[in-house]
Amino acid sequence: MGNVNRGLLAVGSDRSPSRAREDYVKAIYQLGAGGPVRAAALARYLNVSRVSVSKAKRQLEADGLLDREREPSQPLRLSRRGRRLAIAMVRRHRLLETFFHRVLRIPLERVHAEAERIEHVISDDVAMRIATLLGRPQRDPHGHPIPYDDDLRTEKPLPTLAALRAGDRANVISLDDRDDAAVAVLADGGLLPGARIVVQRSDASCVVVRRGKRVVTLRRAHAAMVRIGA
């Protein structure tokens, strides 16, 4: 999430409690792939202090968005209500990204931050009208699935390009979108969802892939952002 500030339920430039709740439940849902999340991992993900996460946890429990655990050290687990809110926020975010990229022609590396700013102020009705306008796309421009209901199925993380060896072939399925500069590098290299690639070299410093006639050299950190499938 962009522009993270430290403090109780203070994530993003808008410090309103409603936005903070939405940011936290969405982060828990995405970080845990629908499952429980450790407080330390959530603090790193949001770039906030452990104290901030502990305070937010108590507030989210009071709001009915987290299941109450007997021990404070237990992982954070979204309640059914919390997961519904998280999925709604994911839907808004990914529909906005798709609208910005397809209709407004905003570069891929900018759509995540723009959607972060707006997702909190549109209604579910507006989000679904955007979906209808776009023909109910199934995936956003980063390749992530767009949920159209409150299905609570778990999204299993895909392997990354960084895990492949020289000679391996794969299809790009999606890109992790939290690093705008890295997304710009990947987009410039044509490593977008649907691209077919062949790994030519993989070592501690970089990963070299061929896409068609083009050869692209990536830092390992950037390769780790590329989710792949067979």
pLDDT at 152 over 70: no
Task: Tell me the average pLDDT across 69-75.
Answer: 78
- Give the pLDDT of residue 178: 87
Tokens of 206: 């970089």
Task: Tell me the average pLDDT across 63-79.
Answer: 86
Name the pLDDT band for 44 (thresholds 50, 70, 90).
Answer: very high
- 8 Å CB contact between 227 and 158: yes
Q: Position 118: which residue type?
A: I
Give the span between the Cα atoms of 9 and 224, in whole angstroms: 30
- pLDDT tens-digit readout, 175-228: 999 899 999 999 999 999 999 999 999 999 999 999 999 999 999 999 999 999
Could you give the strand order of the β-sheet that contains 196-202, starting from the edge strand earlier in sequence? Answer: 214-219, 206-211, 196-202, 169-175, 226-229
- pLDDT tens-digit readout, 102-141: 999 999 999 999 999 999 999 999 999 999 999 999 999 9
Give the span between the Cα atoms of 208 and 216, in whole angstroms: 6
Phi, psi of 224 (to 5 degrees): -70, -10
- Give the pLDDT of residue 15: 59
